[in-house]
Amino acid sequence: LFAGFIETMSELVRILSLTFRLFGNMTAGELLILVMIFLIPWVAAVPFYGLELFLGFVQALIFGGLTLVFLVIAVTPREERV
């Protein structure tokens, strides 16, 4: 019973860690754009929009890849993973 609880918590913590990581990275990007718009003219902040778009693409790839790995680990029997 206790081992099942620990295993369930392990799976939930993986999902939460991915969620917080994605949220933190996206929030940091938005804050960077807001600071740049405040400090410098709007036109000079345009490259940061491109950077944010690129970083969003990279984050989506990482999030999708890690989700796929975690799903494969979750559905593959323990004997086949060794």
* Average pLDDT score over residue span 35-54: 81
Concerning whether 25 is annotated as a catalytic residue, the answer is yes
Concerning whether 81 is annotated as a catalytic residue, the answer is no
In this prediction, residue 64 has a pLDDT band, given cuts at 50, 70 and 90, of confident
Measured distance CA(39)–CA(74) in Å, rounded: 47
Concerning whether 21 is annotated as a catalytic residue, the answer is yes
Measured distance CA(59)–CA(46) in Å, rounded: 20
In this prediction, residue 45 has a pLDDT band, given cuts at 50, 70 and 90, of confident
Which one of 10, 25, 78, 81 is the catalytic residue? 25
pTM for the whole thing? 0.62
**What is the domain extent for residue 72?**
2-81
Q: What total of structural domains would you count in the chain?
A: 1
**The two structure tokens encoding residue 13:** 């913590």
- pLDDT score of 81: 63
Residue, of 72 and 80, whose pLDDT is higher: 72
- pLDDT score of 82: 59
